[in-house]
Amino acid sequence: MLKKIITYVDFNGRQVNEAFYFNLSQSELMEMETSEDGSLSDLLTAVSERGVPGELLSAFKDIILKAYGEKSEDGKRFNKSEALSHEFTQTAAYDALFMELTTNAELSSEFFQGIVPKDIGESIGSGTPPTPGFRPGHEPEERPIAPPMPEVSAPIREDPDYIAWKANRDARNLAAEQHREEAE
């Protein structure tokens, strides 16, 4: 579970720091991976390969809203519903979070690591695919944890923030690849 403090300006013009909770349980992840629409990782890979930014943003929104909920006072339940998610989308906090995650690869990676069970989140952070239910003699299929961000149309590429983001992403990918090679 991730407790995320979001700083935003509310609709009365006041700056607010508020805690929000996000979580995807193992059973929710399993349902997402085995859904008729295809697994979550397959969806993100397909969206990334098609290179349609709107589809990727839609996937981000779906994941955020599937993870959003309210923790019970006693900590025994994490309440989620379409109504709660819909209410969250109507807040300035949602807008601030969405913009933060879609424009900062490092923060989005931390967010996605935080909303999944700890062992899976650590796998994502290390670049090693998680192996739930691993059985000796049955090697897990190697799949990328998260697809690369798609290339987008020329007008965005000219934006200095995008150029800096892309250079930062490429440097991180190169460092991760060098780290994997050194580990082997």
* Residues forming a β-bridge with 6: 18
At 122, is the pLDDT very low, low, confident or very high (cuts 50, 70, 90)? low
The predicted pLDDT at position 98 comes to 93
Lowest mean pLDDT among 21-30, 110-119, 133-142, 172-181: 133-142
Q: CA triplet 81, 87, 91: central angle to 5 degrees?
A: 140
What letter represents residue 177's amino acid? E
What does the longest C-alpha to C-alpha distance in the chain come to? 60
> Rounded to whole angstroms, what are the CA distances from 77 to 91, 105, 158?
23, 30, 46
Contact 58, 98 (CB under 8 A): no
**CA separation, residue 10 to residues 4, 17, 93, 99, 107 (Å):** 17, 10, 8, 15, 22
Q: Which ranges of the chain would DSSP assign to H, the alpha helix?
A: 26-33, 40-50, 53-67, 82-89, 92-103, 105-115, 118-126, 154-157, 160-183
Q: Under a CB-based contact definition with an 8 Å cutoff, are residues 125 and 136 in contact? A: no
Residue 54 makes CB contacts below 8 A (sequence gap 6+) with none
Q: How confident is the model at residue 182 (pLDDT cuts 50, 70, 90)?
A: confident
**Contact of 113 with 125, CB cutoff 8 Å:** yes
pLDDT of residue 88: 97
Rounded to whole angstroms, the Cα distance separating 80 from 31 reads: 15
Share of the chain above pLDDT 90, in %: 34
Q: What is the pLDDT of residues 19-61, one digit of tens each?
A: 999 999 988 888 887 876 666 666 666 666 766 667 778 888 9
